[in-house]
Amino acid sequence: MIRTVTTPYSTTTAPARFLLLGDSHAGPVGRAARAAGIPFSGGPIGAARDFNAGFFDLRGDDPVFRDVETDQLYRGFLAELGAAGLGELSVPLVLTFGLSAHFFATTENWQLYRVRTGAFVPGFVSGRLFDDIVRAMARDAIAFYRHARGLGLRVLAPLPPQRVPSMSDPEIFMAAQETMRRALDALDVEIIDLRARVTDAAGLQRPELCEADDPIHGNLAFGRLILADLLDRGL
């Protein structure tokens, strides 16, 4: 978990348009909003590994993050918005939990399902077993979305930058992302899917939308595109 944090960001001169919570992929969105002067509250509250399974409990209707500092950040953001708990939130919720497909796609995790040629069993990544495995890996992320929707919140989820680091399997990355997209779509979460606009002919993130010196993240320009999409959706 993150140990060095400062005062959470908030533009207080105008009402916040949304609450942003997530892993590091939330960073470019928050930075873009900050640079554009779009009022919001929130930001990344941990790394990708922190928000898949076993990361929160419910106290009544309100999620409580198991990591103390994460929970403090979350409470601080809610307080900026005048909400005592998630159920009192009056602005849309933008989440990136469970959408770091590179984390699910770590090549080593899937060796078990490969045959002698190195390929997967035919139909594996499009099959029920794969879907179940990914959903199990992200079970509490999905539960968080389900809970937020159950509270009546408008929830939006940007798909991650289409970057597959060398330790991850591209086929698994794409398939796991698709599994998560379907899972969230079934919960009526609005998916911010910019893939057609941000990728090259190979389906991977265009270089000018990648964070430099970093194999995973989108850059500020990618954040601006997500932000523009959020505003286009009326946020």
Query: Which positions touch another protein (CB under 8 A)?
Result: 2, 4-6, 9, 17, 23-24, 26-27, 30-31, 35-38, 43-49, 100, 102-103, 106, 165-168, 197, 206-217, 219-222, 224-225, 228, 231-232, 234-235
The nearest distance, CB 210 to another protein, in angstroms, is: 5
Residue number with CB closer to another protein (8 or 127): 8
User: DSSP letters along 25-89, please?
Assistant: THHHHHHHHHHHT---EEEE-S-GGGGSSS-EEEETTEEEESSHHHHHHHHHHHHHTT-SSGGG-
16, 41 contact by CB (below 8 A):
yes
Tokens 């990591």 belong to residue: 67
The nearest distance, CB 128 to another protein, in angstroms, is: 26
Residue number with CB closer to another protein (183 or 216): 216
Beta bridge partners of 19: 41, 93
Q: What tokens does 25 get?
A: 């992929």
Residue number with CB closer to another protein (175 or 235): 235
The nearest distance, CB 225 to another protein, in angstroms, is: 7
Residue number with CB closer to another protein (125 or 209): 209
The nearest distance, CB 123 to another protein, in angstroms, is: 27
Residue number with CB closer to another protein (70 or 179): 70
The total number of residues written for the chain in this structure: 235
DSSP percent split of the chain into helix, strand, coil, nearest 5: 45, 15, 40
The nearest distance, CB 186 to another protein, in angstroms, is: 25
Greatest C-alpha distance within the chain: 61
